[in-house]
């Protein structure tokens, strides 16, 4: 029975449905992820495992597997590349948490808190190198090009984010450029290598690249809204982190676009000058309420989700296709 004909028993959460549909594949990819984070230097797998074994959604490797299967690849080849994609993601998380001085990740102390900044930077470097070793073992220069390009763009996005932080003049276009680079680029690459593995044509690669890009945009905008709206326990990290850091994300940019002079002073003090009191986060949430900032941010995310789904239009009907369409909506509506 082909994947296209397989019926899905789980209902509701498309990420769980995708994991269930690709359960055998994900088991193999996960085993490879755990195996490949090995090093003779015990601290390296310890730090890597802290993040990788702690769970996480594994959405990027799932996308690689899904997009390879979607174009007819039934080989074991995507496993190594799914692991490479997850390692690049994990490396960026390790470095991000050092840069943001984060204290929590996936519901527990972040690696920088437990193992220190030095180990986090170096194990990030190791996982990044290991990702390239996995790509080299696979042997496709196209895949190497797609993922090395994405990696360069990710670091550009992170630098842009550094520079827009605490700048209340940041425009929505600048914000979208940042998240396109820091998040959507890896989603796009993870999806694009699927048809490459399956030897599908350029058109298929472009379609999956665009699907991944739009999914990543929807995912990140929703993430930035969840940072204000989520239940902290479900999210697995502290709510209001972006606010405390003065990160310029969709909600603040929307609120600023219609701020009263008094509110403008509020954002200037809290985000630009980073001078905050405990009353400020509740006040920010009040302003979001008045300006409809979170709802309007969700609308933006839904727009991207729709664009993601439309990239699947040319594909024949299949369970996998249906789930990937649902996944775009789920990226926006998830509660963590």
Strand partners, 108: 105
- Binding-site size for a second copy (CB under 8 A) equals 40
The Cα 189–Cα 213 span in angstroms is 8
The Cα 90–Cα 113 span in angstroms is 16
Q: Which is nearer to a second copy, 17 or 242 (CB)?
A: 242
Residues of this chain, 105-124, that bind a second copy according to CB under 8 A: 117-119, 121-123
Q: Which is nearer to a second copy, 32 or 285 (CB)?
A: 32
Contact characters 34-73, a second copy, x per CB under 8 A: -----xxx-xx-----------------------------
Among residues 34, 106, 132, 307, the one that binds a second copy under rule CB under 8 A: 132
Among residues 133, 199, 258, 295, the one that binds a second copy under rule CB under 8 A: 133
Q: Which is nearer to a second copy, 97 or 263 (CB)?
A: 97
| DSSP secondary structure of 249-308 | -HHHHHHHHT--HHHHHHHIIIIIS----TTHHHHHHHHHHHHTHHHHHHHHHHHHHHHH
Q: Which is nearer to a second copy, 149 or 286 (CB)?
A: 149
Among residues 23, 31, 53, 162, the one that binds a second copy under rule CB under 8 A: 162
Cβ count near 64 (within 10 Å): 30
Closest of 104, 103, 97 to residue 121, by C-alpha: 97
Going by DSSP bridges, is the β-strand pair 108-109/104-105 parallel, antiparallel, or unpaired?
A: antiparallel
To a second copy, the closest distance from the beta carbon of 133 in angstroms equals 5
Under the binding rule (CB under 8 A), the answer on residue 126 touching a second copy is yes
Under the binding rule (CB under 8 A), the answer on residue 128 touching a second copy is yes
Q: Which is nearer to a second copy, 13 or 46 (CB)?
A: 46
Q: Which helix (H) or strand (E) holds 122?
A: helix 117-138
Residues 188, 85: contact at Cβ < 8 Å? no
Q: Which is nearer to a second copy, 131 or 207 (CB)?
A: 131
Closest of 310, 63, 328 to residue 188, by C-alpha: 63
Candidate ranges 52-60, 139-147, 204-212, 250-258; the one touching a second copy (CB under 8 A): 139-147
Among residues 95, 209, 213, 296, the one that binds a second copy under rule CB under 8 A: 95
In the chain, % helix, strand, coil (3-state, to 5) comes to: 75, 0, 25
The Cα 4–Cα 283 span in angstroms is 50
Residues 323, 13: contact at Cβ < 8 Å? no
Residues of this chain, 278-297, that bind a second copy according to CB under 8 A: none
Among residues 4, 8, 99, 172, the one that binds a second copy under rule CB under 8 A: 99
Under the binding rule (CB under 8 A), the answer on residue 188 touching a second copy is no
Q: Applying CB under 8 A, which residues contact a second copy?
A: 39-41, 43-44, 92, 95, 98-99, 117-119, 121-123, 125-126, 128-130, 132-133, 135-136, 139, 141, 144-145, 148-149, 151-152, 154-156, 158-160, 162-163
């Amino acid at each position: 029975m082909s994947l296209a004909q397989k019926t899905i028993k789980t209902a509701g959460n498309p990420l769980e449905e995708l994991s269930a549909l690709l359960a055998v594949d994900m088991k193999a990819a996960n085993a490879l992820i755990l195996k490949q984070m090995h090093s003779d230097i015990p601290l390296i797998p310890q730090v890597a495992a802290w993040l990788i074994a702690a769970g996480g959604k594994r959405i990027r490797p799932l996308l690689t597997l899904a997009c390879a299967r979607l174009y007819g690849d039934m080989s074991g080849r995507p496993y190594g590349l799914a692991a490479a994609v997850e390692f690049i993601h994990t490396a960026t998380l390790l470095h991000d948490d050092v840069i943001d001085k984060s204290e929590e990740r996936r519901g527990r102390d972040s690696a920088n808190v437990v193992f220190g900044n030095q180990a986090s930077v170096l194990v990030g470097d190791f996982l990044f190198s290991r990702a390239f070793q996995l790509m080299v073992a696979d042997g496709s220069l196209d895949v190497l090009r797609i993922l090395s390009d994405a990696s360069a763009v990710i670091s550009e996005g992170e630098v842009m984010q550094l520079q827009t932080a605490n700048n209340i003049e940041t425009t929505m276009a600048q914000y979208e450029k940042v998240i396109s680079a820091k998040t959507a680029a890896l989603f796009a690459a993870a999806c694009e290598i699927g048809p490459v593995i399956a030897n599908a044509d350029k058109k298929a690669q472009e379609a999956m690249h665009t699907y991944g890009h739009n999914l990543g945009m929807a995912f990140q905008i929703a993430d930035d809204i969840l940072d204000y709206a989520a239940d902290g326990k479900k999210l697995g990290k502290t709510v209001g982190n972006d606010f405390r850091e003065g990160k310029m994300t969709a909600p603040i940019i929307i609120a600023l676009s219609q701020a009263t002079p008094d509110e403008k002073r509020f954002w200037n003090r809290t985000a630009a000058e980073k001078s905050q009191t405990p009353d400020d986060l509740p006040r920010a949430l009040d302003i979001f309420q008045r300006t409809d900032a979170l709802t309007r941010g969700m609308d933006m995310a839904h727009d991207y989700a729709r664009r993601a789904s439309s990239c699947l239009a040319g594909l024949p009907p299949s369970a996998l296709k249906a789930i990937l369409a649902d996944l775009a909506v789920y990226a926006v509506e998830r509660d963590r």
